[in-house]
Amino acid sequence: MKIKKIIVLDRDGVINIDSDAYIKSADEWLPEVGSIEAIKALKQAGWIVAIATNQSGIKRGYYGRKQLSEMHLKLQQLLVPERIDWISYAPYLNEDNSPARKPSMGMLTAIEQRFGLCLSGAPMVGDTLADIRVAQSKNMKPYLVQTGKGVKTLATQDAVLTGVPVYLNLHAAVEAILK
């Protein structure tokens, strides 16, 4: 039996260019350099690719679920003939204390249930402390990228970053993961 390989990616700042003003439409949603090629490489190597993304802009009223769906459709169209296998998002604020919002594990648990897989040992690529913390909570292998909030995250020198590999961007992280 072939073992399924699964990877979880954060979205904003990892797959697409992030903005402190929030990405509010498909027009504003622009891929990070090399991210589409990186995801295609994962898919061509047989990986299941899932996204776990906090999307508090919905609750803040900056955009709606329709606009979020249009952003994800744009991503899927850029990947043709490949596809993202699963997208989980949490439309909540930090103060909502939602079990779905990273660094809580709700989205990762949903991904495990969807694919009938345990994420322990699987890679997760993110740009924030929340991404690293949730990956570690699930016993995953976290990777930090310097795109998005990655440089600011590194500057915190938080102890949670000890031993976490750091890459320029998703493309560089995926190259290392596929080696």
pLDDT at 1: 41
Give the global pTM: 0.96
The CATH class of 5-178 is alpha beta
Residue 10: active-site member: yes
Q: How confident is the model over 33-67, as pLDDT tens digits? A: 999 999 999 999 999 999 999 999 999 999 999 99
**Residue 95: how many other CB atoms lie within 10 Å:** 7
Do residues 149 and 127 make contact, with C-beta atoms less than 8 angstroms apart?
yes
Burial of 1 from C-beta contacts in 10 A (0-12 / 13-18 / 19+)? exposed
- Selecting among 12, 18, 127, 131, the annotated active-site residue is 12
Domains of the chain by residue range? 5-178
131 labelled catalytic: no
